[in-house]
Amino acid sequence: MIQAADFRLDLNDREIPGGVAAAAVVLGSPTTVLTPSSPVFVKVDVTLTTNATAPFEMEAGLGAASISETSSAELRRNLAVSYAAVAGGDCGTPGLHYTATAAARVSTSDKTTFCVRLALREGAPLSIQQLGARISVPMEFTQIGI
């Protein structure tokens, strides 16, 4: 006997189409100006819903971000994007360790939160603080057997 189950992955409450092992994360526009002393944090919630009777997990991983749609090479050089997986979903938690990539397990009918930290490097010129850019964050998913 062979049985199959459906599962659904959501990013920030938006469904990822079935059969996709990777997705793009839309970060939206920060409401504050980014400066070297004031990073901006954006939450990315990953939810796994399934009708499978046996529990399983997925691993969600964020890769190195790419910066485009800006005319400023100076902005590309000075914009740092890093990630942390957090329990409880609070990106403002002091002492979080941010890295260039991140991965975390997502259990069935559960949510995992990643925080994306956008920051200007120390010494960044003031002229780039009002510029915009498109930041693409690759995210990959792998099913983990239990």
For the segment 99-115, the average pLDDT, to the nearest whole number, is 88
pLDDT digits (tens, 9 = 90+) for 37-66: 888 888 888 888 777 777 778 888 998 888
> What is the rounded distance in angstroms from the CA atom of residue 54 to the CA atom of residue 8?
15
pLDDT at position 104, please?
Answer: 92
Whether 105 contacts 142, CB under 8 Å: no
Q: How confident is the model at residue 146 (pLDDT cuts 50, 70, 90)?
A: low
57 φ, ψ (degrees, to nearest 5): -130, 160
Place of tokens 């740092």: 80
pLDDT at position 102, please?
Answer: 92
